[in-house]
Structure 1
Amino acid sequence: MTNNKDLLKSGPIPLHVGIIMDGNGRWAKLRNIPRSEGHKAGADVIEPLMDCAIELGIKAVSLYAFSVENWIRPVSEIRGLWDLLEYFFSTKLQSIKDKKIQIRHSGSLSKLPPSTRNTIRKAVEETSRNKGLILNFCVNYGGRQEIVRAVNE
């Protein structure tokens, strides 16, 4: 496994990295565990990812966590994803603030459950003055949706 010092020697480090959080359900299926455990495993790597990005000098990371296309999933799975997002912020927000990470959100909050909307808004608000890594959560986000929104503004 390559360590971060080796990566620094290998060439230019990007300023912004985008990660599509996809495949966690398939990963779980291959291991004969519930899809929800796959989603949790995906969430568990976010904090080490933030630490690595900070160490490498990456300025921004965008996590594509839930696209507008994901609404076709079973309601119980979607509900589990909202619960996981809320759990993530309830357990990691203090650490995020301590590391001076700024949380941003891209996407529409309108269809999300009120508790999830409030969780995201709280994380964004409580980290808005932080000057470290920008961690952009793309939740209920879609490229076409973004183009339409931009044209209508």
Structure 2
Amino acid sequence: MKGTFLCFFLFMALHAHSGERSMTFADFLKINESGQSNLKLDETIKISGFLYKDSNQNIFLSNTPDLKSCCVGHFKEGAFQIRLLDLPLDTAIAEGELRQIRGSLFWNSLEKGSPSFYLKKSELLDKAQAKPFILVGAIFGLFLISILFLKGAARYGKV
């Protein structure tokens, strides 16, 4: 039994810190309101959102589905956007597609009351790559429950 818990602890310890932070758009909205943050410049983050291109072929990640083309790249109340830099312009994206992005976070001084955020070294994560540990965790959990069930059944003579 101690070995089982040791394996579980080691699995969690190895995957607890991957060097990047997962964020949501709510985290950015808190930064907008306060003007301060515990984020570091050039910190690698992962965030999910809806992809859009503006008329200059700049790519943006937004928290708003079905964003109108006139609003892409412009600050609008409730429609928060992050400009993706260093993403190849020929990257095939479907307008409004929900995707997960990894990149280094930067922002500049306040413009029109809110900071402008950028992701440098941006890369689209594969859809299948977005949450691989859920499957591994589910398999490990089922394996652990099966072992405990069989040990309990053997102890009470039910098997």
TM-score normalised by structure 2 residue count: 0.29
Task: Name the structure, 1 or 2, with higher relative contact order (CA <8 Å, separation 6+).
Answer: 1
Q: Which has the higher strand share?
A: 2
Larger radius of gyration: 2
Q: Which has the higher helix share?
A: 1
